[in-house]
């Protein structure tokens, strides 16, 4: 577990520094952050970006700090400490009386990675030779922008083949909000094929995607197995950044490219707020491209008009 690992690493540092974790100060936590940000990278020493050659990524450091913060929250709750050395930021006065809270590590917000058209075709070429279960999982994950947990938790009664709708139950989502989203006709064909195959594994209602391994035969497919399958496809296709979440990112970006409004994208994705959906608008560069085109069209027209006026003036002088 990442959180357990994060706490274990912090406790190891305290042991190395001969510091009792229950009495550690903010300086000790800062030392831990410094170590996380400078430790040698497994990818080599050729640093071309902050998180490309040395140290953990910003998101990973944030995750490591969460486990340490929760540890001290527990100590404070139990009365073993008076304060939390990690904290949740400090107030910084703003120019108009407002302000912001800055954490121990400044959070960097990056756009999600999506494959190029060529990389996507390579993934699809490899997936074409996969069993129908794997092909259906990839198709549904893309069509309905499903997270890995949402996909693997689907049940047979969550699907409405007649209307080509899938229900994502609230307990399987991050926002704890249920939603119903459509899927394509091509995915519907794959679903029909898979249901015929699934009947040879089990006719019982329940989990849609079933394991066919000897150890867990006819049991719901685990998240770990799903990740392993996608990882194998990514490696074979030579697109190693492709993951179980990539199809969701790609779908939402494609919706933004097609002109969907941010509120519609947020509803489709199951986001509580539009801020998360805005990433895909930015990633698609739809608004920027449209504004750029409109702006350039106006500038172009003005420049041509000036040239035309210049030509008429020159003709009159002749």
C-alpha 3: how far from its chain's center? 18
Residue 164: is it exposed, middle or buried by C-beta count within 10 angstroms (0-12/13-18/19+)?
A: middle
Strand partners, 207: 155
- Whether 284 contacts 253, CB under 8 Å: yes
Question: Does the pLDDT at position 225 exceed 90?
Answer: yes
Average pLDDT of span 274-300: 74
Interatomic CA distance for residues 183 and 163, integer angstroms: 9
For the cut 60, the answer to whether the pLDDT of residue 298 exceeds it is: yes
Mean pLDDT (whole number) for 135-151 = 96
Q: What is the pLDDT of residue 133?
A: 97
- What six digits make up the tokens of 185? 């006709």
All domains of the chain in start order, with CATH: 2-92 (1.10.150), 117-284 (1.10.443.10)
In the chain, the percentage of residues whose pLDDT exceeds 90 is 47
pLDDT tens per residue, range 91-136: 445 555 445 555 566 665 677 889 999 999 999 999 999 999 999 9
Read off the pLDDT of residues 33-60 as tens digits, 9 standing for 90 and up: 888 877 665 544 443 344 444 567 777 7
What's the pLDDT score for residue 305?
75
CA atoms within 13 A on the CB side of 250: 21
pLDDT tens digits for range 157-214:
999 999 999 999 999 998 888 999 999 999 999 999 999 999 999 999 999 999 999 8
Task: With CA atoms as reference, report the closest residue to 103 among 90, 84, 119.
Answer: 90
Average the pLDDT over 284-289 and give the result.
Answer: 67
């Amino acid at each position: 577990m990442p959180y357990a690992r994060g706490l274990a690493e912090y406790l190891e540092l305290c042991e190395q520094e001969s510091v009792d974790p229950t009495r550690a100060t903010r300086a000790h936590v800062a030392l831990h952050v410094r170590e996380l940000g400078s430790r040698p990278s497994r990818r080599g020493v050729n640093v071309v970006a902050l998180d490309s050659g040395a140290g953990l990524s910003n998101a990973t450091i944030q995750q490591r700090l969460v486990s340490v913060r929760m540890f001290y929250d527990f100590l404070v709750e139990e009365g073993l400490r008076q304060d939390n050395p990690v904290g949740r930021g400090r107030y910084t006065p703003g120019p108009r009386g407002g302000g912001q809270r800055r954490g121990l590590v400044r959070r960097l917000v990056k756009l999600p990675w999506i494959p190029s058209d060529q990389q996507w075709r390579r993934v699809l070429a490899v997936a074409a030779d996969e069993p129908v279960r794997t092909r259906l999982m990839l198709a549904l994950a893309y069509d309905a922008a499903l997270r890995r947990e949402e996909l693997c938790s689907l049940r047979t009664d969550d699907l409405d083949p007649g209307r080509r709708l899938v229900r994502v139950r609230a307990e399987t989502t991050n926002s704890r909000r249920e939603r119903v989203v459509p899927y394509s006709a091509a995915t519907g064909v794959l679903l029909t094929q898979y249901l015929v195959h699934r009947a040879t594994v089990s006719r019982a209602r329940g989990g849609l995607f079933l394991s066919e391994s000897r150890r867990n035969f006819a049991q719901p497919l685990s998240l770990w197995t799903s990740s392993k399958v996608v990882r194998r496809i990514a490696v074979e296709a030579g697109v190693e950044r492709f993951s179980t979440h990539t199809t969701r990112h790609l779908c939402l970006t494609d919706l933004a490219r097609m002109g969907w409004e941010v509120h519609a994208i947020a509803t489709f994705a199951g986001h509580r707020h539009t801020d998360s959906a805005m990433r895909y608008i930015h990633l698609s560069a739809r608004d920027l491209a449209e504004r750029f085109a409109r702006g350039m069209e106006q500038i172009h027209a003005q420049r041509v008009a000036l040239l035309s006026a210049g030509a008429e003036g020159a003709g009159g002088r002749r």
